[in-house]
Amino acid sequence: MASKIKIIVAKPGLDGHDRGAKLLARIFAEAGMEVVYTGLRQTPEMIVNAALQEDADVVGLSSLSGVHNYFFPRVVQLMREKGLKDVLIVGGGIIPQEDYEPLKKAGVQGVFGPGTPTTEIVKFIQDNVRAKK
């Protein structure tokens, strides 16, 4: 039997809005993933430590406050420093289209903005984690 995909859902920075992150956490769980939601106001170090402790397959970052250009690449950098190179990193929230490519170049493999169908996000995660396993 294949093991469940384990995903960390995290809210980096001071953004206090987590309804979308909680909704996605539930959708991921309903899709058969094991979900760990880290809560609000996480530092990149806290997120990476959670990924390490939980042996995560995926880290999902959510930002609605415009801090994605700093926090998402910082999480990627710390993940690499900790040797977590095989963990899929995805991000979403209020992210302008012009920021997608720089985030991908920084190591965020999937970037999803407002209106992205949740089925597309789930499929992206499933396809990319299976390719790594």
Give residue-wise pLDDT tens across range 5-35: 999 999 998 878 888 899 999 999 999 999 9
Give the contacts of 7 (CB within 8 A, at least 6 positions apart). Answer: 28, 33, 34, 35, 36, 56, 57, 58, 59, 60, 125
Question: Helix axis angle, 44-54 relative to 68-81, nearest 10°?
Answer: 40
Give the contacts of 19 (CB within 8 A, at least 6 positions apart). Answer: none
- In the prediction, which pLDDT does 24 show? 95
Q: Is the pLDDT of residue 104 over 90?
A: yes
Spatial contact of 37 and 25, defined as CB atoms under 8 Å apart:
yes
What is the CATH code for 6-132? 3.40.50.280
Q: 50-99: per-residue pLDDT in tens?
A: 999 999 999 999 998 889 999 999 999 999 999 999 999 999 999 999 99
- In the prediction, which pLDDT does 15 show? 79
